[in-house]
Amino acid sequence: MSILSSAVSSATNAASTLGSAASSALSGLGIGTTSTTPSTAGTSGSSSGSTSQAAGSVASQSLAGNFDTFLQLLTTQLQNQNPLDPLDTNQFTQQLVEFASVEQQINMNTNLQTLISMQQTSQATSALQFLGNTVTVSGNTSTLSNATGSPASWTITAPSPATANVTVSSSTGQLAFSGSVSLNAGSQGFTWNGQGNNGTTWPDGTYTLSISATGANGQAVAVTTQVQGVVSGVDLSQNPPQLTVGGQNFALSQIQSISH
């Protein structure tokens, strides 16, 4: 009986020590806990299990900044195990694996954030280099300025000779001009001076070009349009940054060529 009493007393003291250590560590994290000193071997085992679960919960929530706290709880748990109910080896191994896995995930997320920040900085630096340069961008909207005598202009690229029906629409969708043009294979320019079909001069603004092209045998020909202008501004608040060309914003991926 004296041996059993000694074992029970050791288990009680171990559980009490573990509870105190856990309470102290959790208090350092600003988390309040309530611990009771068990009086029997059965309750000491239950208290040890509850403390282990609390430690695991806190570790999962605060691992990013409190690795030392987790290790302190784990070490205290190992030093003060219940001799009648020691920590299962598989459970201990699982705790270590989970701890290592979470640590690796945190490091991976940190590295990814660093890479994303570096990429955004690189994109911003690249975008600023376009300022003041003339660029060709993929698009079908151009700016008309009667005040400066600048017509709306586009570059049309066709894979083969074709006849195209073109329409020019205002920013509100109104038809400003329509007509027919002959296209050669390759790239060619198309300009519109702001004169409508009825002779009306349209006001300054942005206008959109639409094209429907057919080949010699009546087959549809796919054509693309580009616009050219000077980069007058860069919007770094967008991701990726946006370039301002002729009062319009374009993504870096739309840039097809650049000239000084």
Would you say residue 125 lies in a domain? no
Give residue 121's pLDDT. 75
- Domain hosting residue 228, numbered range: 134-259
Please check whether residues 93 and 20 belong to one and the same domain.
yes
Would you say residue 201 lies in a domain? yes
Task: Give me the sign of the Cα torsion angle 228, 230, 231, 233.
Answer: negative
Locate 171 and state its tokens. 């920013």
Please check whether residues 56 and 151 belong to one and the same domain.
no
Please check whether residues 50 and 138 belong to one and the same domain.
no
Please check whether residues 6 and 93 belong to one and the same domain.
yes
Q: Which SS3 state, helix, strand or coil, does residue 34 take?
A: coil
Please check whether residues 74 and 147 belong to one and the same domain.
no
Please check whether residues 219 and 150 belong to one and the same domain.
yes
Would you say residue 58 lies in a domain? yes
Who's near 158: CB < 8 A, 6+ residues apart?
Answer: 164, 183, 184, 185, 186, 188, 213, 221, 223
Give residue 209's pLDDT. 96
Q: What is the CATH number of the domain that holds 189?
A: 2.60.40.4070
Would you say residue 126 lies in a domain? no
Please check whether residues 178 and 63 belong to one and the same domain.
no
Would you say residue 115 lies in a domain? no
Domain tally for the chain?
2
Would you say residue 129 lies in a domain? no
Give residue 75's pLDDT. 76
| Listed residues 108, 123, 158: the one ending a domain | 108
Please check whether residues 200 and 245 belong to one and the same domain.
yes
Would you say residue 123 lies in a domain? no
Would you say residue 226 lies in a domain? yes
Locate 244 and state its tokens. 């301002």
pTM higher than the cut 0.75: no
Beta strand residue intervals within 88-161, DSSP E:
134-138, 141-144, 152-158
> How far is the CA of 158 from the CAs of 142, 211, 215, in angstroms?
19, 11, 10
Give residue 11's pLDDT. 44
pLDDT (tens, 9 = 90+) of the chain, 260 residues, equals 444 344 445 444 544 554 454 445 444 444 444 343 333 333 334 344 444 444 444 444 445 556 667 677 777 777 777 777 776 777 777 777 777 777 777 778 878 888 877 776 777 777 788 888 889 998 899 999 888 888 999 999 999 999 999 999 999 999 999 999 999 999 999 999 999 998 889 999 999 999 999 998 989 999 999 998 889 888 888 878 888 887 788 888 888 888 77
Please check whether residues 188 and 255 belong to one and the same domain.
yes
Please check whether residues 34 and 89 belong to one and the same domain.
yes
